[in-house]
Amino acid sequence: MATAPTPSGEGPRWEVFKQDTPSKPHQAVGSVHAADPEHALLMARSVYARRPAAVSLWVAPAEAVFAVTAEELAAAEPWSVEEAGEERLYQVFRKTSHRRAMTFVDHVGEVSAPGPRAAVAAARQAFPEPPALAWWVVPTARLSASPDDEAAAWFEPAADKTYKQQSAYGLLAPKKPGRSKGGDR
Amino acid sequence: MAEAAAPAADEQQRLDAFEARIANGEKIEPGDWMPDAYRKQLVRMISQHAHSEVVGMLPEGAWITRAPSLRRKLILIAKVQDEAGHGQYLYHAAETLGVSRDELIDALLEGRAKYSSVFNYPTLTWADVGMIGWLVDGAAIKNQLMLAQCSYGPYSRAMVRICAEETFHHKQGKEMVLTYAQGSAYQRAMAQDALDRWWWPSLMMLGPHDSDSPNTPQLVRWGIKTKTNDQVRQEFVDEHAPELMDAGLTIPDPELHVDEASGHWVHGPIDWDEFWSVVKGHGPLNAERLAARRQAFEDGRWVREAMAAYARRRREAA
Amino acid sequence: MSASKAQDSRLDAELQQALVARLTAMADDELILGHRDSEWTGHAPLLEEDIALANIAQDEIGHALLWLQARSELDGSDPDELAFFREVGAFRNARLVELPKGDWAFTMLRQYLFDAFETELLSRLRDSRYPPLAEAAAKAAKEEVFHLRHSGLWLERLALGTDESRSRLTSALQRIWPYLPQLWQPLPGDAALQRAGIAPNPADLEQPVMARVSAALAALGLEPPADAVPNPGGRDRHGEALVSLLVDMQSVARADPGVDAW
């Protein structure tokens, strides 16, 4: 079920995917409101990469994301797909755990399909294990990426801002004991 | 998801299955079946939380230009920036439930939406910034850790992200207040004055007593809350009271004492009349806070229009 | 650290003095600009832009600290002392950065022009024969890439958005343009720093910066004002805007000057 576009003074919504390190997949972290893809990428970096670590960002208009949960799939079996349409490439994301996290679906690969429902069907075939709790499919053409050749400028400066990292604050205690009122300590 | 009207038994079955998923520790994700009341409670809670973050930028934001050292300047800008970010994550979570950010912001600016009463108090000195970090964010963290376990996926994820960033807020505030409490006579007096004004609002921020919170039992049942207001408030007082006293500050509560039997700190009665007055919008700065947000929104209208016009031109040219 | 001390001993008194002045001017530009940017926190047109501009403000103030720390290694000065206890007349920022923030068009255009200048300045400072300066410039240059992208994006969106946004932008251009030439005015010691390979002469930055800016404006169908540009004077001359900025900025620090720490 895709998110319907809403006319917005805030601009359309863009889903954001962040890759923490080169060996991890892009992960859905949230969304930003912006008017166009370049703006969305700059906003995504500002909102989601204020602190380390990140090496790459993708954004896609929220209305281009087709989302379906395991529960929705079960309720809709058999899963009907588009009969015909232009074959396109879709990037596939899925969630496979209920474990508490700050990210939602992870990028798992790509499929070719004539439509989003067919893309989900293809994804279930292509990536059967472990069972997915939720799927997102996004046409590759609708995704925009942060420029790889500027990755150092986009993502490295965050590491220097130690004043906003809680690990930079040691154990905080008064220098000398103060008077204590009431009760044993 | 549109559904034809279902017989009561079917509805009960769905509800049972839903509650079983929650009891099983599963996350409810956008698109999953959920009772209307669950959706409504979440939209209310999440949007209030989002509004609080955004309005909360103002009391501390006012002091950015006066931060007394370059490091404090950087820290405060980063903190207020985080608050905008937290509002952003929470608006995103609310939007997954089918409301638009436009609607939510409309409601806030027209005075139809609630936000945490604590931000209707003025910041009168630089030390208020530190005290807000230590106490208000300290109280918020207790709440946030609890909400990170929420059954609704997007809210839980927003809270986990917020928790990771909030600790810095708490620590920088504590560091500031400890420095001033043990600094010059002027700094000590400033810190004590800030405590006098922020202690009770921080306690009240954690919500009405359990006996006055009709929503809580259902929120607990649906995994939206896992602790009651009084439980969280107790944790807050137990942690912060002794630390403030160790710093040489006096808590403005003559009845505050340790209960011998339980080992918990017991506080004096909260003035709930003031709390409700502030919640209902009659706090000292409610009107000013909303006016400031309205002004920013109006001032920015032409900018957002330009953004949209540019995007339209690009699409038409493509 | 010991490498830079060895470097210090090669800087004679004249060069040290010249470098202190240059670092102060650079730091003051960043501090005052960062301060102006930070005034938008809580009031930006879009929540995401509030966050973005707050990052840029932190970057600028961070740069100010880099330059003041480099100065401190030369003369033992204290960055906070310099920021919070100098009078208006002792500041060495360009007039461009102290102008009040104005509307979003004014802020973004001023940011763009300063970003274009800083990008060029930093790219040359990276080759400084004075290692602490080269290192600091490399760090700052990374951040500057993003700043220029961001302000450049806004220049385009405001120019090609609505009639209102374009009109506000041209209005801002009229008001800001006269302050640009001050950026290329060398300080008394800059010639010596250039000869020693420590820092570029600001006069050499005019051509490349103006080339970039003129091309950007031309691409958007914007023309800078043609009128003769009045000389805003040296960096020791400031306007009333800086007075009220500093009165506010320094108020808490000055309320109890003798403290150990804030």
Nearest C-alpha in B relative to C248: B66
- pLDDT 10s digit of each residue in chain B, 318 long? 455 555 577 889 999 999 999 999 999 999 999 999 999 999 999 999 999 999 999 999 999 999 999 999 999 999 999 999 999 999 999 999 999 999 999 999 998 998 888 888 899 999 999 999 999 999 999 989 989 999 999 999 999 999 999 999 999 999 999 999 999 999 999 999 999 999 999 999 898 899 988 878 888 888 888 888 999 999 999 999 999 999 999 999 999 999 999 999 999 999 988 877 776 766 668 888 899 999 999 999 999 999 999 999 998 988
- CA A154 to chain C, closest CA, distance in angstroms equals 6
Mean pLDDT value of segment C162-179: 96
Judging contacts by C-beta atoms under 8 Å, the chain B residues touching residue A13 are 95, 101
Give per-residue burial for C167-192: e unless 16+ CB within 10 Å, then b. ebbbebbeebbbbbbbbbbbbebbeb
CB within 8 Å of chain A, chain C residues 135-154: 139, 142-146, 149-150, 153
Helix, strand, coil percentages for chain B (3-state, nearest 5)? 70, 0, 25
> What's residue C9's pLDDT?
54
In tens, the pLDDT along C52-104 reads: 999 999 999 999 999 999 999 999 999 999 999 999 999 999 999 999 999 99
Query: By the CB < 8 Å criterion, does A51 face chain C?
Result: no
Q: Is A87 on the interface with B (CB under 8 A)?
A: no
Average pLDDT over residues C34-53: 97
C21 contacts C189 by C-beta, under 8 angstroms = yes
Structural tokens at position B185: 């006579």
Q: Which residues of C touch A156 (CB under 8 A)?
A: 142
Q: Does A170 touch chain B (CB under 8 A)?
A: no
State residue B251's pLDDT score. 98
Give me the residues paired with residue A112 across strands. A89
Q: Who among B78, B148, B310 is closest to A164 (CB)?
A: B78
Min Cα distance C42 → chain A (Å) is: 15
Inter-chain contact A174–B1, Cβ cutoff 8 Å?
no
CA atoms within 13 A on the CB side of B134: 28
pLDDT at residue number B219? 85
The nearest CA of chain A is from the CA of C13 a distance in Å of 33
Residues in chain C closer than 8 A to A154 (CB atoms): 145-146
Does the beta-carbon distance from A34 to B265 stay under 8 Å? no
Q: Which residue of B has its CA nearest to A45?
A: B85
CA-based nearest residue to B117, from B202, B213, B232, B228: B202
Which of A43, A48, A155 is the best mutation test for C, with the most CBs of C within 10 A? A43
Q: Does A153 contact C145 at a Cβ distance shorter than 8 Å?
A: yes
Q: Which segments in chain A show pLDDT lower than 70? A: 1-8, 176-185
DSSP letters for A10-67: T--EEEEEEE-STTS--EEEEEEE-SSHHHHHHHHHHHH-SSS--SEEEEEEGGG-EE
Q: CB of C102 within 8 A of CB of C172?
A: yes
With a CB cutoff of 8 Å and minimum separation 6, the contacts of B15 are B35
Cβ contact, residue pair C253, B68, below 8 Å: yes
C-beta atoms of B299 and C168 within 8 A: no
Chain CA centroid to CA C155, Å? 19
Q: How far is C142 from chain B (nearest CA, A)?
A: 19
What are the strands, taking DSSP E only, across chain B? 257-258, 265-266
A39 interface with C at CB cutoff 8 Å: yes
Say yes or no for a CB contact (<8 Å) between B66 and C83: no
Q: What integer pLDDT is reported at residue C67 of this predicted model?
A: 98
When the pLDDT of each residue in chain C is averaged and rounded to a whole number, the result is: 94
- Scanning chain C, the segments in alpha helix (DSSP H) are 2-10, 13-38, 47-75, 79-85, 95-98, 104-125, 131-159, 163-176, 190-195, 206-219, 240-249, 251-255
Q: Specify the pTM.
A: 0.94
Under DSSP, the state recorded for A106 is: E
Chain A, window 97-136: residues with a beta carbon less than 8 angstroms from a chain B beta carbon: 98, 100-104, 133-134
Cβ neighbours for C30, distance < 8 A, ≥ 6 positions apart: C60, C61, C63, C64, C67
C134 and A27 Cβ atoms separated by less than 8 Å: no
ipTM: 0.95
Nearest C-alpha in A relative to B177: A174
If you measure CA to CA, which chain A residue comes closest to B181? Answer: A174
Interface contact flag, B246 A6, Cβ < 8 Å: no
Three-state SS at A137: strand
What pLDDT is recorded for position C232? 74
**CB proximity A24 to B under 8 Å:** no
Mean pLDDT score, C233-245? 95
Neighbours of chain A (3+ CB pairs under 8 A): B, C
Chain A contact for B168 (CB, 8 A cutoff): yes
Cβ <8 Å between C45 and B304: yes
Which residue shows structure tokens 């590759």? A140
Q: Is A174 on the interface with B (CB under 8 A)?
A: yes
